[in-house]
Structure 1
Amino acid sequence: MTSLETPVLDAAARIRASGLRVTESRRAVVDALGERPHASADEIFAIVARSVPGTSLQSVYNALSDFADAGLVRRIEPAGRPGLFELRVADNHHHLVCSRCGAVEDVDCVVGAPPCLTPADAHGYAVQVAEVTFWGICPSCAASGS
């Protein structure tokens, strides 16, 4: 397994391992994130609604909130974009975001162990984690000239 891969666990096992109760809609949310990493709540809802038609957007938001609180998912918030969710957690990775189309890619830690970066002045804080978002133009947008 490379450092960009997440260990394969089924949705119910991931949910249980996070200390949460397994429900059909929660399982569908985890499966949707496995299918579409870096998805917004609306995108996850669209995927979940195909397999669990009675699910509401609110139940997807509730599941994502519970998952984030339990450490099962990570929420990233690129400036000017809706919050995005991913299953890849607790591994100190960062993100590349296309400033044209919004595509998001994972990037391993820029250098070394957490927190990867050291601020010029930490103001007395014991820095534990650095979250870095690199902005640029993805290969598809660059090739299309859009």
Structure 2
Amino acid sequence: MDAARLEDALHGAGLRATRGRMLVLDALDRRPHASAEAVLAEVRDALPGTSIQNVHNVLADLTGAGLLRRIEPAHSPALYERRIGDNHHHVVCTSCGAVADVDCVTGHAPCLTPGETGGFAISTAEVTFWGLCPSCQRSAA
């Protein structure tokens, strides 16, 4: 994504367009479903003095501003993605941990409605599908 669009996204969310924020957004455009450690590896050359704590802080700021989505598959660190504002789910490989997006066939959020809400006003439902990715299927064959 070009720098002007990243700056516009940050300003639109009420955030300053710092170099660190722009690099993190760019890294997640190139590598969706990345952990904080993976983002650090992506930005380390451009920001040699940065730390994992700095990356966590930027990820928290961007998530809080609605520019990122944080997902937490079981047995995995938190993962971040730029695909926001739609109703999609994820599929996770039970062998290698690869994650991919799965569009919701219902189309509107939440796409699942519980029989009993306990008084909660439900706004979102998360679905995680588990299975073997194509690469792991080939390796297993």
Aligned counterpart in structure 1 of residue 75 of structure 2, from 63, 70, 80: 80
Q: Tell me how far 1:23 sits from its aligned partner.
A: 0.8
Q: Which of 127, 131, 137 does residue 132 from structure 2 map onto?
A: 137
Which shifted more, 29-38 or 125-134?
125-134
Q: Does residue 20 of structure 1 match 2:10?
A: no
Q: Deviations over 1:15-73 (max 9, x none)?
A: 11111111111111111101100000000000001222222221111100001111110
Could you tell me which residue of structure 2 aligns to residue 61 of structure 1?
Answer: 56
Q: For residue 12 of structure 1, what is the amino acid of its counterpart?
A: E
Alignment of 1:1-146 (within 5 A): 10-145=5-140
Identity, % of aligned positions: 54
Determine the C-alpha separation between the residues in 2 that align with 1:46 and 1:24.
Answer: 16
Give the Cα separation in 1 of the matches to 2:121 and 2:14.
29
Using the size of structure 1 for normalisation, the TM-score is: 0.88
Mind listing any 5+ residue stretches in structure 1 that lack a counterpart?
Answer: 1-8
The code of the aligned residue for 2:67 comes to L
Structure 2 gap segments, 5+ residues each? none
**TM-aligned CA deviation for residue 138 of structure 1:** 0.7
* TM score, norm. by length of structure 2: 0.91
Shift of 1:120: 2.2
Task: Report which stretch shifted further, 102-111 or 78-87.
Answer: 102-111
Rounded Cα–Cα distance in structure 1 between residues aligned with 2:92 and 2:61: 26
Q: Return structure 1 stretches of 4+ with deviation > 3 angstroms.
A: none
Matched residue pairs, number? 138
CA distance in 2: counterparts of 1:40 and 1:97, whole angstroms:
14
Amino acid at match of 1:51: A
